[in-house]
Structure formats: C-alpha cells, structure tokens
Amino acid sequence: MRRLAPQISSAAELIRSAVSCGRPILLRYNNDADGICAGLSIYCSILSIAGAASYDAKKLLRDYQNNSAIYNHGDASGDILLLRGISEARPLVVLVDFGANPESVDGLRSVKAEGAQLLVIDHHPPGADAVKLLDVFVSPWLARGGTSDYCAGLLAGEVAKELGLDAGRLQRVALTGDRSKLIQPSEEERNASLALDYLAETAKPRNTLSHCNSIFSDAKKLESTYGLAISKLEQARASIKALARTRQLPNGFTVALADISKMARDSSFPPKGKLTGALHDSLAPGIHGPLVTIGYGGDAINFRANAAARAAGFNASKMILELKEELPNAISSGGGHDVAASLRMNKGLGKIVLNEVLAKIERIRR
C-alpha cells in the first residue's frame, strides 16, 4: 500500500480539485460488494468535503452502478450527454472496481475526447492501452508485489481517508466481499458484504449509492437485507448440487459442469458468479486434487478453481486471454482473477467455447 501512496494522493487531489472548482463528477462502480464499498468511499468523501467548498452535489454529482466489468461505448456516450447537460465545466469521470481492461478502451476514449478527466481505481489486471488514457490510475498492479487481493474498496478507502473520511469498515467489507487474503472477516463483515451483493442485484428500479448508504449505516436495515440474501442463497445451494456433473480428467483435474441458466437469470440473486461459487464451495471439501467448477448457460461461463488447480497450472484469467485471441469472434468479453473469472460469448457460440475450455483444461501438463 505504501508503494501506491503517490497514486492514492493524486486521486484524492483530483477529486478535491474537481469539488473545489465546482466541476461535475460522474462515479461508476461495479455491481458487487467491493464495487459498492469503493463507490461509497468516493461518494461519501465527496459529500463530506462538499459543504466547505459549497459544492452543489445534488446538481453536480451522479452515481451509476455498472452492471458489467466493462466501460462500454454506449454507457460512455450516455455519460457525455448527461455531463454536458449538467455543466460546461470539465467533468471528472471516476470508475471503481472496473474500467482499465482492453474492452473498456472505446468507452474511455470517447469520454476522454470530450475533455473529461479520468480516474480509475481498480484491482483487475489492466490493459496498457486503457491505462494510457487515464489521468490517474490506482492499481495494485502498478506496485511490486501487488495482487488483486488489494481490492478496489481497499484502495478507494485510502483515497477517501486522504479526503477525511473514516473508511475502515468499508475497506474491510470490500475485502470480505472479494474474498481477499488480506482479511479474516468477522461475521458482521461477512453479512454486510452479502447484503451489499444482494442490493447490487435486486435494488429496483436501479441501485444507488444513497440507497446503499442508508442500509449500510443502519444495523437493522442491514440485518434484514442480509436475511433476504441468505435465504435466497440457501435455497440455491440446496438445489444446485443436483445440476452438477463431475468429470475426472487423465491429468488429475476434476471438472464440475453445471448449466445454471435456469437458476440464475439477469438481475436475480444469487447471480451466476455467486451460484458457481456456491457450487464450488459445496463440492470442494469432497474432492482431492485440482478442481475447476464451471457454471455455464445463456451467453456466459463462470469459473471457480481451488488452490490445487492453480498450483497444477490452471489460471482462469490467462485462459480467457488465450480464448480471446484464438476465438475473437466468439468471445465478447471476459476476465477476472486466477481462480475466479467469467466470460461472455456471442449468441450461439456457447458450445464451441465450452468445448475449447474443456480441451484447454485437459491439456494442462502437471
């Protein structure tokens, strides 16, 4: 974290200067607990310094949940129109927990061309072309020894602290939500992160940071949101194991496959990634050696792998990069971490990609 101090300070300075000059700020956060905590850190710290700077946050600050890992061109075009309507002053666009991957380059380029300043706080492996477009980039991958365990909420919390916010709890809940190795979470932190994950998927008509804040800062509301989340998750856990087919490969890998499209629809809880995680967690204790769990269906494939699979040479984010090169017309997006990742495919190509994934796991030489 000390190695990232210069970037963290620059990020705080960028926000402070946008607030003191009364410029419009658009904040997008990824749709999970880590993304929400990162978003809340920035959102609340802007509100906390707004008064002294007579910054009209109601007029000048906008927040949107980004329901994908990509800053796509369509969203960026919408943001440009919105920001132009708010003020003539140079806007600041802040993306947290996503936005520095190669798929986001088009979106980044279009807001940049409109004169926006760009701040990205993210812990996913970045792409060089995206990074070049950013005014400030806070990422553990910029520092020696950095890994995705240094999640977006942890980093954004450090930025928020420089702006005077007490962000410790947000940081811990973010680390918990992304299962970072840097934390041993308390039960309260675990429950809070699940409640935020639930809000990300279910808040209607759309999730907002002011809604999240009202729940996160009220123990009773948080408890009841957690109650809704855990009952949905337990229902899913009880039925998902029946959907899985496991295969033993000659190289020692066990692959568990489940068509989860009927259980996980868009904007339902638990979402596909969490459902795949739940299946993986229920299978892992009974499997010795490398295990890769694959939840597929619709246009998406979700991966989870155990430590033995990683040690034996499985790397989900590397495999997705290879697939993108080998099947450029089939993969629309994808990414994540070594043992947890997802990809989206173009319509009708799911089977081809899934077969290629299985072949790749089969070819891993231990």
Footprint on this chain of Mn ion (rule: CB under 5 A):
34, 97, 151-152, 178
Give the separation between CA 216 and CA 194, rounded to whole angstroms: 11
Q: Enumerate residues 6+ apart whose C-beta is below 8 A from 134.
A: 100, 108, 118, 119, 120
CB neighbourhood size of 32 (10 A): 25
Structure-token pair, residue 156: 């954004």
Question: Shortest approach of Mn ion to residue 182 CB, angstroms?
Answer: 13
Of 175 and 319, the one with the shorter C-beta distance to Mn ion is 175
Shorter beta-carbon distance to Mn ion: residue 171 or 254: 171
Question: Smaller CB distance to Mn ion: residue 55 or 98?
Answer: 98
Burial (CB count within 10 angstroms: exposed 0-12, middle 13-18, buried 19+), residue 22: middle
Closest CB to Mn ion among residues 97, 103 = 97
Shortest reach from residue 178's CB to Mn ion, in Å: 5
By beta-carbon proximity to Mn ion, the closer residue of 37 and 111 is 37
Cβ-based nearer residue to Mn ion, 34 or 63 = 34
Torsion angle (degrees, nearest 10) of CA 168, 170, 174, 176: 70
> With respect to Mn ion, which residue has the nearer C-beta, 173 or 257?
173
Residue 235 beta carbon to Mn ion: minimum distance, rounded to whole angstroms: 26
Measure the CA–CA gap between 70 and 280, rounded to whole angstroms.
25
**For 141, which DSSP code?**
G
Contact partners, residue 266, CB within 8 Å, separation at least 6: none
The torsion of the CA quartet 208, 213, 214, 216, rounded to 10 degrees, works out to: 120
Neighbours of 366 (CB within 10 A): 11
**Cis peptide bond N-terminal to 205, omega within 30:** yes
List of E strands, the chain: 25-30, 61-66, 92-96, 117-121, 136-138, 244-248, 254-259, 291-297, 300-305, 331-336, 340-345
> 65 vs 254, which CB is nearer to Mn ion?
65
Q: β-strands 254-259, 291-297: how paired?
A: parallel
**Nearest distance from residue 151's CB to Mn ion, in Å?**
5
Q: How far is the CB of 98 from Mn ion (least distance, A)?
A: 8
Q: Which residue's CB atom is positioned nearest to Mn ion?
A: 34
Least Å distance between CB 38 and Mn ion? Answer: 7
Minimum CB–partner distance for residue 140 and Mn ion (Å) = 11
Minimal distance, residue 153 CB to Mn ion, in Å:
7
